[in-house]
Amino acid sequence: MRRVCSSSLLTLPLAALLVAVLAAGAGARSAPALRATTAAGSHLQVIQVEYRLILSRGIVKAGPVSLEAIDRGMDPHDLRLRAGAHGADILTPQLTPQQRWDGVVRLKPGIYQLWCSLPEHAKRGMHATLRVVR
């Protein structure tokens, strides 16, 4: 005969409560991203993992772009964008694992290079190309 421990009876309600609290927190956290998206013409999400960047799309429209950078790796990462070979860098803050940053950046038409500027990260493959069109 199998005994049921009273602490295991509490596990299911506590798990349900934890899921509800996390879901409520996730909804509150994504609200600013929704506002930024409505203010911008395009949205670009960049997932950062060792050692690659995953873009939600390879082409965006010129103008204000809602940029969402998410560090899904185990190391800190940042994100740099540069139009052409001599354009000014657009910088995001360095993120710790599981942290995210949302902002609106203004992009002109052209080809942009994206990379993580932490030592050796770009060299190991943490870079991507983005096309911005009219």
What would the pLDDT profile of 6-18 be if each residue is shown by its tens digit? 444 433 343 343 3
**How many domains, the chain?**
1
**Can you say whether the dihedral through the CA atoms of 73, 20, 67, 100 is positive or negative?**
negative
Which candidate, 103, 98, 31, places its Cα nearest to that of 67? 103
The full DSSP string for 25-90 is HHHHHHHHHHHHHHHSSEEEEEEEETTEEEES-SEEESEEEEEEEEE-SSS-B--EEEETTTPPEE
- The ranges of the chain with pLDDT < 50 are 1-38
> In whole angstroms, what is the distance from residue 54 CA to residue 17 CA?
33
pLDDT of 39:
54
Within a domain: residue 30? no
- Boundaries of domain holding 119: 40-133
What CATH number is associated with residue 113? 2.60.40.420
Q: Is residue 27 part of a domain?
A: no
**Residue 31 counted as domain residue:** no
Is 124 a domain residue? yes
**Could you read off the pLDDT of 81-92 as tens digits, one per residue?**
999 988 999 999
Q: Is residue 16 part of a domain?
A: no
